[in-house]
Amino acid sequence: MENYAVLKEEQNEFQCTVSNILYFKGIGLHTGKEASIIVKPSKADSGITFVRKDLNPNLIIKAKADNVCSTLLRTSIGLKKEGNAKDASGCISTVEHLMSALWGAGIDNALIEVYGCEIPAMDGSARVFYESFYESGIKELKAKRKYIEILKPIGVDSENGDKGPSIAVYPSEDFEISYDMDFSHPLVQSGSFDMKIDGFNFYGEISKARTFGFLKDVEYLKKSGLALGGSLDNALVLDETSVLNKEGLRYKDEFIRHKVLDLIGDLYLSGYRIKGRVLAKKTGHDMNSKIVKKIGEHLNSVPLAAGKKEDNGFINVGKAAATVFA
């Protein structure tokens, strides 16, 4: 099989984890239930690992695209049952904002204990998570950081052709995103965003962009069991002509920047940072997940990418202690 992507060690960079234990609590954006997580340091090459501590026995879920169990208005991961790709247990909803913050803060390895079925929404962006990681400290490990390097274009197109969403990633020495959005709203409208993104500009340019929704859709979403915890405290809400949040917008183009924030978090479910130029058009979590899985398919033939067997399964993990963020 021809290689379109390869996993390489970056000789001048080292893997990182959090220095201390951090505790976050809040409301789940979609479930409306209280949610809390504890983020703990983890060893090199362990990656990002979620543990459902509220389940007995505890359930370990690796942060990887193969474990995605839902992409309906958010990205959820769970432990897939062998031989049944559609069925998963212990699903954790809305991991994308946390994953984006981990990427932005340069955290390669972390153990995340989850108490509930959703990550707390905080303010609807990645800001609180990101700031907390830096305030608490980030620890450099001895192992070299690994990147997925795109060698040839990899893409996913919509069944609707040019009118539908599409996403592709091309070779680049950096991580770049070009995103095109199209909404029929006077404030959101159509727009483009194009930027080389790294740990230095992620905080200022991306992390503070909040999730958003439309007032006219709230009743339908709640009847569908979604956005039950949504409020002006954790989302931008728009009526037909304006933003209802008193704070207003944090960026003039906050809507498209949040779509980029989501995309970064979804791409990090590849398990690694990516060196490539991403061209995305009107994508959501479903298309984001598809491109990550397609990249993974092309990594399967690369010896370094095969790695060691994942520890997906049931175990008991650690005790909680913490710096608290709520």
Q: Which residues are identified as catalytic?
A: 285
Residue-wise DSSP of 17-85: EESS-EEEEEEBTTT-SEEEEEEE---TT--EEEEETTSSS-EEEESSGGGEEE-SSS-EEEEEETTEE
The confidence score (pLDDT) of residue 170 equals: 98
Pairwise CA distance, residues 260 & 265, whole Å: 9
Range in 80-94, 120-134, 242-256 with the lowest mean pLDDT: 80-94
Mean pLDDT of 72-95: 80
CA-based R_g, the chain, Å: 19
Peptide bond preceding 303 in cis form (omega within 30 of 0):
no
Q: Which two tokens stand for residue 174?
A: 């950096």
Pairwise CA distance, residues 75 & 287, whole Å: 11
* 155 pLDDT above the threshold of 80: yes
The confidence score (pLDDT) of residue 215 equals: 85
Q: Which two tokens stand for residue 55?
A: 């389940």
Confidence of residue 81 (pLDDT cuts 50, 70, 90): low
The confidence score (pLDDT) of residue 161 equals: 65
CA distances (Å), origin 120, targets 23, 29, 160, 261, 264: 11, 7, 35, 16, 18
Enclosing domain of residue 25: 5-325
At 18-74, the pLDDT tens digits run 999 999 999 988 888 999 999 999 999 999 999 999 999 999 999 999 999 988 889
Number of domains within the chain: 1
Q: What is the CATH number of the domain that holds 97?
A: 3.30.1700.10
* 321 pLDDT above the threshold of 70: no
